[in-house]
Amino acid sequence: MTGSDFSVLPRHVAVIMDGNGRWAKKRGLARSEGHIEGAKTFRRIGEYAGNLGIKHITFYAFSTENWSRPENEVNAIMHLFGDYLKEALDRLDENLKKGIRLRFLGDRTGIAPELANLMDTVEKYTENMTKINLNIAVNYGSQQEITGAVQSIAEDVKAGLLQPGQITPELIASRLYTGDQPPVDLMIRPSGEQRISNFLLWQSAYAEFWYSDVLWPDFTERDFDEALRSYEKRNRRFGGV
Protein backbone atom coordinates (compact mmCIF):
# COMPACT_ATOMS: atom_id res chain seq x y z
CA MET A 1 0.00 0.00 0.00
CA THR A 2 1.28 3.46 -0.89
CA GLY A 3 0.31 6.21 1.49
CA SER A 4 1.14 8.30 4.49
CA ASP A 5 -0.19 6.08 7.30
CA PHE A 6 3.19 5.48 8.93
CA SER A 7 3.40 5.31 12.71
CA VAL A 8 6.88 6.82 12.69
CA LEU A 9 8.91 8.51 9.97
CA PRO A 10 12.66 9.01 9.88
CA ARG A 11 13.71 12.63 10.19
CA HIS A 12 16.56 12.17 7.73
CA VAL A 13 16.70 9.64 4.89
CA ALA A 14 19.82 9.10 2.79
CA VAL A 15 19.63 7.41 -0.61
CA ILE A 16 22.50 5.96 -2.65
CA MET A 17 21.18 6.11 -6.22
CA ASP A 18 22.92 2.99 -7.54
CA GLY A 19 22.39 0.78 -10.56
CA ASN A 20 21.85 3.22 -13.43
CA GLY A 21 24.65 1.78 -15.55
CA ARG A 22 23.61 -1.83 -14.98
CA TRP A 23 20.01 -0.93 -15.79
CA ALA A 24 21.13 0.42 -19.16
CA LYS A 25 23.48 -2.50 -19.87
CA LYS A 26 20.68 -5.02 -19.28
CA ARG A 27 18.74 -3.26 -22.03
CA GLY A 28 21.61 -2.86 -24.47
CA LEU A 29 21.64 0.92 -23.96
CA ALA A 30 24.41 3.41 -23.31
CA ARG A 31 25.13 3.99 -19.61
CA SER A 32 24.03 7.60 -20.07
CA GLU A 33 20.50 6.35 -20.78
CA GLY A 34 20.48 4.73 -17.36
CA HIS A 35 21.43 8.03 -15.75
CA ILE A 36 18.59 9.77 -17.61
CA GLU A 37 16.09 7.27 -16.20
CA GLY A 38 17.73 7.49 -12.78
CA ALA A 39 17.26 11.26 -12.79
CA LYS A 40 13.54 10.75 -13.36
CA THR A 41 13.40 8.39 -10.38
CA PHE A 42 15.25 10.94 -8.24
CA ARG A 43 12.67 13.62 -9.00
CA ARG A 44 9.77 11.29 -8.31
CA ILE A 45 11.10 9.83 -5.04
CA GLY A 46 12.26 13.21 -3.76
CA GLU A 47 8.81 14.68 -4.26
CA TYR A 48 7.13 11.63 -2.76
CA ALA A 49 9.32 11.74 0.36
CA GLY A 50 8.48 15.40 0.86
CA ASN A 51 4.77 14.73 0.49
CA LEU A 52 5.00 12.02 3.15
CA GLY A 53 6.45 14.54 5.57
CA ILE A 54 10.11 13.54 5.65
CA LYS A 55 11.96 16.73 6.57
CA HIS A 56 15.46 15.87 5.38
CA ILE A 57 16.49 13.68 2.46
CA THR A 58 19.95 13.38 0.95
CA PHE A 59 20.64 11.82 -2.44
CA TYR A 60 24.11 10.59 -3.44
CA ALA A 61 24.42 11.81 -7.02
CA PHE A 62 28.15 11.90 -7.78
CA SER A 63 31.09 10.90 -5.60
CA THR A 64 34.67 12.17 -5.57
CA GLU A 65 35.62 8.74 -6.97
CA ASN A 66 33.16 8.93 -9.88
CA TRP A 67 35.53 11.18 -11.86
CA SER A 68 37.42 8.00 -12.77
CA ARG A 69 34.50 6.80 -14.89
CA PRO A 70 34.62 7.14 -18.70
CA GLU A 71 34.67 10.78 -19.80
CA ASN A 72 31.49 10.51 -21.87
CA GLU A 73 29.61 9.09 -18.86
CA VAL A 74 30.88 11.85 -16.55
CA ASN A 75 29.91 14.47 -19.14
CA ALA A 76 26.43 12.96 -19.43
CA ILE A 77 25.94 13.04 -15.65
CA MET A 78 27.07 16.65 -15.42
CA HIS A 79 24.81 17.60 -18.33
CA LEU A 80 21.86 16.03 -16.51
CA PHE A 81 22.83 17.87 -13.35
CA GLY A 82 22.89 21.15 -15.27
CA ASP A 83 19.45 20.41 -16.66
CA TYR A 84 18.18 19.76 -13.13
CA LEU A 85 19.60 23.06 -11.85
CA LYS A 86 17.95 25.00 -14.67
CA GLU A 87 14.68 23.19 -14.05
CA ALA A 88 14.93 24.02 -10.34
CA LEU A 89 15.23 27.71 -11.21
CA ASP A 90 12.35 27.46 -13.68
CA ARG A 91 10.21 25.83 -10.97
CA LEU A 92 11.38 28.19 -8.26
CA ASP A 93 7.94 29.54 -7.37
CA GLU A 94 6.54 26.02 -7.12
CA ASN A 95 9.40 24.85 -4.90
CA LEU A 96 9.07 27.89 -2.68
CA LYS A 97 5.35 27.22 -2.22
CA LYS A 98 6.24 23.66 -1.17
CA GLY A 99 8.83 24.99 1.28
CA ILE A 100 11.72 23.11 -0.35
CA ARG A 101 15.25 24.15 0.53
CA LEU A 102 17.81 22.81 -1.95
CA ARG A 103 21.38 22.26 -0.84
CA PHE A 104 24.39 20.70 -2.51
CA LEU A 105 26.93 18.77 -0.47
CA GLY A 106 30.46 18.39 -1.76
CA ASP A 107 33.58 20.13 -3.04
CA ARG A 108 32.57 22.74 -5.60
CA THR A 109 36.13 23.48 -6.67
CA GLY A 110 35.92 20.39 -8.85
CA ILE A 111 32.66 21.46 -10.51
CA ALA A 112 32.50 23.47 -13.76
CA PRO A 113 32.11 27.19 -12.89
CA GLU A 114 28.79 27.57 -14.71
CA LEU A 115 27.32 24.66 -12.71
CA ALA A 116 28.80 25.93 -9.45
CA ASN A 117 27.21 29.35 -10.10
CA LEU A 118 23.82 27.72 -10.70
CA MET A 119 24.21 25.74 -7.47
CA ASP A 120 24.92 28.95 -5.56
CA THR A 121 21.90 30.64 -7.11
CA VAL A 122 19.50 27.81 -6.32
CA GLU A 123 20.71 27.64 -2.73
CA LYS A 124 20.45 31.39 -2.26
CA TYR A 125 16.83 31.55 -3.49
CA THR A 126 15.67 28.65 -1.30
CA GLU A 127 17.75 29.26 1.84
CA ASN A 128 14.79 30.47 3.93
CA MET A 129 12.58 27.45 3.21
CA THR A 130 11.99 25.20 6.22
CA LYS A 131 9.49 22.49 5.29
CA ILE A 132 11.80 20.16 3.36
CA ASN A 133 15.59 20.02 3.16
CA LEU A 134 16.54 18.33 -0.11
CA ASN A 135 20.29 17.65 -0.21
CA ILE A 136 22.13 16.50 -3.32
CA ALA A 137 25.67 15.20 -2.83
CA VAL A 138 27.81 16.12 -5.84
CA ASN A 139 31.59 15.65 -5.95
CA TYR A 140 31.11 14.37 -2.43
CA GLY A 141 33.22 12.05 -0.32
CA SER A 142 32.61 11.64 3.40
CA GLN A 143 36.27 11.16 4.32
CA GLN A 144 37.04 14.39 2.48
CA GLU A 145 34.17 16.11 4.31
CA ILE A 146 35.38 14.96 7.74
CA THR A 147 38.98 15.93 6.90
CA GLY A 148 37.79 19.43 6.00
CA ALA A 149 35.89 19.71 9.29
CA VAL A 150 38.95 18.64 11.28
CA GLN A 151 41.17 21.08 9.38
CA SER A 152 38.72 23.89 10.16
CA ILE A 153 38.81 23.04 13.86
CA ALA A 154 42.62 22.78 13.81
CA GLU A 155 42.82 26.30 12.38
CA ASP A 156 40.71 27.56 15.29
CA VAL A 157 42.98 25.79 17.77
CA LYS A 158 46.03 27.27 16.07
CA ALA A 159 44.47 30.75 16.27
CA GLY A 160 43.75 30.29 19.98
CA LEU A 161 39.99 30.31 19.50
CA LEU A 162 39.62 26.74 20.79
CA GLN A 163 41.37 24.45 23.24
CA PRO A 164 41.84 20.79 22.26
CA GLY A 165 39.66 19.78 25.20
CA GLN A 166 36.78 21.76 23.70
CA ILE A 167 36.65 19.54 20.63
CA THR A 168 33.53 17.39 20.93
CA PRO A 169 31.54 15.17 18.58
CA GLU A 170 28.93 17.93 18.46
CA LEU A 171 31.54 20.45 17.34
CA ILE A 172 32.81 18.18 14.59
CA ALA A 173 29.23 17.53 13.41
CA SER A 174 28.61 21.27 13.25
CA ARG A 175 31.48 21.72 10.79
CA LEU A 176 30.11 19.15 8.33
CA TYR A 177 28.02 20.08 5.27
CA THR A 178 24.94 18.93 7.21
CA GLY A 179 25.87 20.87 10.36
CA ASP A 180 22.38 22.18 11.05
CA GLN A 181 20.54 18.98 10.13
CA PRO A 182 19.81 15.85 12.19
CA PRO A 183 21.85 12.68 11.72
CA VAL A 184 20.71 10.08 9.20
CA ASP A 185 18.01 7.76 10.52
CA LEU A 186 17.59 5.56 7.45
CA MET A 187 20.05 4.76 4.67
CA ILE A 188 18.58 3.23 1.50
CA ARG A 189 20.69 1.50 -1.11
CA PRO A 190 19.11 -0.22 -4.12
CA SER A 191 20.85 -2.34 -6.80
CA GLY A 192 22.00 -5.26 -4.66
CA GLU A 193 25.19 -3.69 -3.29
CA GLN A 194 25.62 -3.62 0.48
CA ARG A 195 28.20 -0.97 1.27
CA ILE A 196 28.16 2.69 2.28
CA SER A 197 30.61 3.89 -0.39
CA ASN A 198 32.07 6.84 1.53
CA PHE A 199 28.65 8.44 1.99
CA LEU A 200 27.71 10.34 5.17
CA LEU A 201 29.96 8.22 7.38
CA TRP A 202 29.72 10.48 10.44
CA GLN A 203 26.04 11.29 9.97
CA SER A 204 25.13 7.60 9.65
CA ALA A 205 26.78 6.39 12.86
CA TYR A 206 23.44 5.06 14.13
CA ALA A 207 21.50 4.86 10.87
CA GLU A 208 19.29 1.93 10.01
CA PHE A 209 20.24 0.38 6.66
CA TRP A 210 17.87 -0.99 4.05
CA TYR A 211 19.03 -2.74 0.89
CA SER A 212 17.17 -3.78 -2.23
CA ASP A 213 18.06 -5.65 -5.41
CA VAL A 214 15.98 -3.19 -7.46
CA LEU A 215 18.11 -1.04 -9.76
CA TRP A 216 17.62 2.67 -9.12
CA PRO A 217 15.77 3.52 -12.38
CA ASP A 218 13.19 0.85 -11.46
CA PHE A 219 12.84 2.06 -7.86
CA THR A 220 9.26 3.08 -7.08
CA GLU A 221 7.23 4.70 -4.35
CA ARG A 222 6.25 1.20 -3.23
CA ASP A 223 9.93 0.34 -2.74
CA PHE A 224 10.35 3.51 -0.71
CA ASP A 225 7.32 2.56 1.37
CA GLU A 226 8.86 -0.87 1.97
CA ALA A 227 11.99 0.77 3.34
CA LEU A 228 9.90 2.97 5.63
CA ARG A 229 7.86 -0.04 6.83
CA SER A 230 11.10 -1.81 7.67
CA TYR A 231 12.29 1.27 9.56
CA GLU A 232 9.05 1.34 11.58
CA LYS A 233 9.83 -2.12 12.93
CA ARG A 234 13.41 -1.44 13.98
CA ASN A 235 14.20 -1.19 17.69
CA ARG A 236 16.63 1.71 17.82
CA ARG A 237 18.56 1.44 21.09
CA PHE A 238 21.56 3.66 20.20
CA GLY A 239 23.90 1.38 22.13
CA GLY A 240 21.54 1.03 25.10
CA VAL A 241 19.33 -1.84 26.18
Residues acting as catalytic residues? 18, 66
Rounded Cα gap, residues 79 and 142, in angstroms: 24
Which H, E and C letters describe the chain, residue by residue?
A: CCCCCCCCCCCEEEEECCCHHHHHHHCCCCHHHHHHHHHHHHHHHHHHHHHHCCCEEEEEEEEHHHHHCCHHHHHHHHHHHHHHHHHHHHCHHHHHHHCEEEEEECCHHHCCHHHHHHHHHHHHHHCCCCCEEEEEEEEECHHHHHHHHHHHHHHHHHCCCCCHHHCCHHHHHHCCCCCCCCCCCEEEECCCCCCCCCCCCCCCCCCEEEECCCCHHHCCHHHHHHHHHHHHHCCCCCCCC
Q: What is the dihedral of CA 162, 167, 168, 170, to 10 degrees?
A: 50
Torsion-angle region of residue 28: left (phi > 0), alpha (psi -120 to 50) or beta?
Answer: left
Rounded Cα gap, residues 111 and 83, in angstroms: 15
